[in-house]
Structure 1
Amino acid sequence: MSRLNKFYVIKRSDVDDYCGPLDKGNLTRIGNKIHRGRKQDRKVSDHWYIVINQDEPYADEVIEILKRNGHWG
C-alpha cells in the first residue's frame, strides 16, 4: 500500500453537500463498526489526525518534518 492510500480522508462539507441520508448512515455505520472492532482488539478506538492539503503554502515544511521522523515516503 502506498502512502497515498494509507488513509481515507473525506471532507465533512463534501459529505454534507453530495451525500444523502442513506450515504451518511452508511458512513456512520462503517465508523461505528471500525470503532467497535478496534476496541475489541484492545487498540485505540478514537484516533485523531492532523490533515493538511498539499497545496497549502506550508505543506512542504510539514512534509520535511514527517520525512525527518520517518513518516513520509
Structure 2
Amino acid sequence: MNNNYPRINEEVVAILEAAKEEVTFEGTVLEGKERKYTVIKIVDLVKYNSEFALNEVAPFLDALLGNIEAGREKDGKKPFNSYVVINTDEPWIDEIVEVMKRNGAWD
C-alpha cells in the first residue's frame, strides 16, 4: 500500500508556492507577471519520466483534477477549459501580445 500521498501533497504545495516566487519570465514578454498557469507537454511528461513514476502519480493527479472539475461545476463554471498555448520565444509573440492587449486579455 502506498502511504506517500500526504507527503506528495505537501511537496506539490511547496513546489507551487516556490513557482510563484521564481523569476521564470525574466527577459520575456511575461516579465513581471504572476505565474498563473503551468502547462505540461504530454510528450515531455512521458519522455522524461519512467512508467513507474507516471503510474505512481496518476491516481493523485486524477484526484486533483477531479476536485478542480467538481469545484468549477459547483461555482457554475464549465468543468474544463481549453487553452491556446504559445511559447514566448516565438518571433511573432509581440503581435500576439498586442492583439491580446487590444481585446483586454493582457493584464
Q: TM-score range by the shorter chain?
A: 0.7 to 0.9
TM-score (norm 2): 0.57
Of 17, 24, 27, 2:47 maps to 17
TM-score (norm 1): 0.78
Larger Rg: 2
CA RMSD of aligned residues (A): 2.1
Of 70, 79, 85, 1:51 maps to 85
CA contact (8 A) 1:35 1:46 kept: yes
Mapped pair 1:6 → 2:36: yes
Structure 1: state its 5+ residue gaps: none
Q: How many residues in Structure 1 have an aligned counterpart in Structure 2?
A: 73
2:96 aligns to what? 62
Q: Secondary structure at the residue paired with 1:27? A: helix
CA contact (8 A) 1:36 1:45 kept: yes
After TM superposition, give the deviation of residue 49 of structure 1 in Å.
0.6
Amino acid in structure 1 at the alignment position of 2:43: S
